[in-house]
């Protein structure tokens, strides 16, 4: 069915007027398509990654290689979603005009400095691997959920939430019984 603006009105879930390239901390949640458990399983409170889960883990840790203005904090791959905290750093530039040295065989791939471009790059990396190595074509739910972290106590609470996510899996709203 073709897109019809009168019937298909998508509302943005982003904070209106907020610059998502702004320095700061962001809590991110990405869900799999249909909340299908694609990345492994939790046994005895421990996430056991399958190959797809390991790829998601690896792609997340490669984010700063592609986006030097991003640093990583707490992170977890769950059976059907991913939680992570990203820090957008201020004043990180690369390229000839800024005279910042690049590693000889490495050019950053990210062209935009927004949270959206970072998440898009992560999703593309995992999706490409999944399509090449599994019969799964649709990996991710459309969009992602983000929360701007505004205080140290909030950051500490979200770190704790991520660390305990595996143990509390059966209580999670994204839990799907095996």
Q: Where are the domains of the chain?
A: 24-90+111-170
Token readout for 47 is: 């996430």
Q: Tell me the pLDDT tens digit for each residue of 48-73.
A: 999 999 999 999 999 999 999 999 99
Residue 8 binned pLDDT confidence (cut-offs 50, 70, 90): very low
Whole-structure pTM value: 0.77
Token pair 């790059």 is found at 121
Q: Quick one: average pLDDT of 38-50?
A: 94
Look at residues 31, 11, 28 and name the one whose alpha carbon lies nearest to residue 141: 31
Q: For residues 123 and 140, is the Cβ–Cβ distance under 8 A?
A: yes
| Selection from 82, 90, 100 nearest residue 37 by Cα | 82
pLDDT band at 99 (very low <50, low <70, confident <90, very high): very low
- Mean of the per-residue pLDDT values of the chain: 82
Using an 8 Å Cβ cutoff, are 79 and 47 in contact? yes
Dig out the tokens for 112 from the structure. Answer: 């935009």
Tens-place pLDDT, residues 114-127: 889 999 999 999 99
Supply 60's token pair.
């997340």
Q: Is 63 exposed, middle or buried (0-12, 13-18, 19+ CB in 10 A)?
A: buried
Nearest CA-CA partner of 106 in 120, 93, 95: 95
CATH class of 24-90+111-170: alpha beta
Higher pLDDT, 139 or 23: 139
- In whole angstroms, give the CA distance from residue 160 to residue 147: 15
Segment 82-106 shows an average pLDDT of: 59
């Amino acid at each position: 069915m073709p897109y019809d603006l009168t019937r298909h009105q998508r509302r943005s879930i982003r904070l209106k007027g907020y610059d998502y390239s702004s320095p700061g901390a962001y809590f991110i949640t990405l869900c799999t398509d249909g909340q299908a458990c694609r990345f492994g399983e939790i046994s005895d409170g421990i996430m056991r990654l399958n190959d797809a889960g390991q790829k998601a883990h690896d792609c997340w840790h490669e984010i700063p290689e592609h986006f030097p203005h991003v640093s990583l904090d707490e992170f977890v791959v769950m059976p059907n979603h991913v939680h992570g905290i990203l820090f957008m750093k201020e004043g990180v530039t690369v390229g000839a005009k800024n005279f910042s040295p690049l590693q000889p065989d490495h050019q950053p791939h990210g062209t935009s400095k927004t949270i959206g471009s970072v998440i898009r790059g992560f999703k593309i990396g995992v999706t490409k691997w999944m399509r090449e190595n599994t019969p799964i074509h649709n990996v991710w739910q459309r969009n992602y959920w983000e929360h701007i972290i505004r205080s140290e106590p909030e950051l500490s609470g979200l770190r704790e939430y991520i660390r305990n996510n595996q143990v509390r899996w059966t209580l999670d709203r994204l839990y799907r019984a095996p």
